[in-house]
Amino acid sequence: MIRYGLIGAGLIGGKRAAALAAGQVVMVCDETSERAQKLAQAVNATATTDPDEVFQNPQIDAVIVATTHDSLAPLALRAIQSGKHVLVEKPAARTTAELLPLIAEAEARRLIVRVGYNHRFHPAIQMAQQLIEGGKLGPLMFMRARYGHGGRLGYENEWRADPVRSGGGELIDQGVHLIDLARWFFGDFPHVRGTVKTFFWNMAVEDNVFLELETAGGQVAWMHASCTEWKNLFSIEIYGRDAKLQIDGLGGSYGPERLIHYQMKPEMGPPETEIHDFPAGDFSWKLEVSEFEQDILRCRAPSPGLRDAAAVLNIMDRVYEQCDVAWRHK
C-alpha cells in the first residue's frame, strides 16, 4: 500500500483525502493548525503545520500537494528533492518558468509526478476519448467549449483574485482545464490567440477569458471560461468529419453529466443519436489517485505529467503576454 503525506487541508485537499483508502494518509499538513487537525482526525492521520515533517517522514512514499497556486511548485519541488513521488494539484505552478525546475529534478531522480487535471477522469470525457481513439468521429475538425461559475459574495477578496497567490484569474483557474482537455483530444497547439477581460468583479485578474487555439494541421479549439456565468456551466462539443460529441455537466451544481454521440449517416440528414447519462457522482478524484498509484507501481510516465502541465502553462503565458496584463509587470 502506498502511504501519503497530504499538504493542504482545504476543499481540494479534503477531496483528495477522501479518494484514498483508510490508512493510506500518514500525515496531513496545513498552515492552519485547526484545519490540519480536523482533516487528520477524519482520516486517522497525524497533523502538522510544518511541511518538512512530511518530506522527512520515512513512512511516506508519496506527497499530494493541494494548496493555493503560489505554493504548488515550491512544495512539490521540495517533495521531489526529498525523494517522494508527487501528485500536485493543477496547474502545478503559476508560470512555465516556475515549473521547469520540477521537470529537471523529477527526471534526474526518476520520480513520478502527476498533475491533478482530474477532469480527464470524468466518465463522459473518458468515453469521448475512447470514441475519438476508436475512430468513431473520423478526422477531427474543431472543438467548442465553455466552462464557468458565478462566483459568490466576496469573491473579489478571495485568494483567486490576488495575482500573487493565484497567478491569474479565470484562465489559470478553469481555463487551464479546458486547455488540458483540448490538448488531450487534439494534440499540441502552436498557434495561440486569446483575450482576457474583467467585466464584473472588482479585482486585478480577469473574470473572463476567450481562447482560439490552432494545431499545426489547422484544427481549431474555441474556448470560453468565466466567473460571470451566474448559472454553473460545463459544455464541450467535439466535431469530426463523421460525428459530433456533446458533453454537458460535471454533476453537482454543474448539472447531470451526459454525453451525446451524433453519428452522421452516409446519406447525411438527421444523425444517429446515442445518449449516455452518468448519474453516479464524481469519482474522478478516486480514479486519478488509482492511476497515480499505477504510475508508481509500474514505473510508468504519468499522463498528464509535468511536461503536459508546462505545455498548458505555456499557452496561458502566451495569452497573458498578448494581452499585456498590468499585474504581470509588478
Q: Does 329 score more than 90 pLDDT?
A: no
Alpha-carbon dihedral sign for residues 183, 150, 67, 17: negative
Fold of 4-117: Rossmann fold (3.40.50)
Q: Does 166 score more than 90 pLDDT?
A: yes
Q: Does 330 score more than 80 pLDDT?
A: no
Q: Which of 303, 326, 318, 305 is nearest to 97 (CA)?
A: 318
Mean local confidence (pLDDT), 293-312: 97
Lowest mean pLDDT among 9-18, 33-42, 73-82, 311-320: 9-18
In this prediction, residue 262 carries a pLDDT of 98
Angle at 240 between CA 234 and CA 244, to 5 degrees: 45
Fold of 123-281: Dihydrodipicolinate Reductase; domain 2 (3.30.360)
The confidence band for 22, taking pLDDT boundaries of 50, 70 and 90, is confident
Average pLDDT, the chain: 97
- Predicted TM-score (pTM) above 0.85: yes
In this prediction, residue 269 carries a pLDDT of 95
Local structure of 147: helix, strand or coil: strand
For 101-132, the pLDDT digits (tens) are 999 999 999 999 999 999 999 999 999 999 99
Mean local confidence (pLDDT), 76-97: 98
The confidence band for 23, taking pLDDT boundaries of 50, 70 and 90, is confident
Q: How far, in Å, CA of 48 to CA of 32, rounded? A: 9
Phi then psi for residue 40, to 5 deg, are: -60, -40
Q: How far, in Å, CA of 70 to CA of 68, rounded? A: 6
Residue 39, CB-side half-sphere exposure with 13 Å CA sphere: 29
Long-range Cβ contact pairs of 267-271 (< 8 A, separation 24 or more) = 271/243, 271/244
In this prediction, residue 264 carries a pLDDT of 96
For 247-288, the pLDDT digits (tens) are 999 999 999 999 999 999 999 999 999 999 999 889 999 999
In this prediction, residue 281 carries a pLDDT of 85
In this prediction, residue 11 carries a pLDDT of 86
Domain ranges of the chain: 4-117, 123-281
> What percentage of the chain carries pLDDT values higher than 90?
96
In this prediction, residue 78 carries a pLDDT of 98
Q: How far, in Å, CA of 145 to CA of 185, rounded? A: 12
Beta strand pairing call for 208-214 and 191-197: antiparallel
Mean local confidence (pLDDT), 201-225: 98
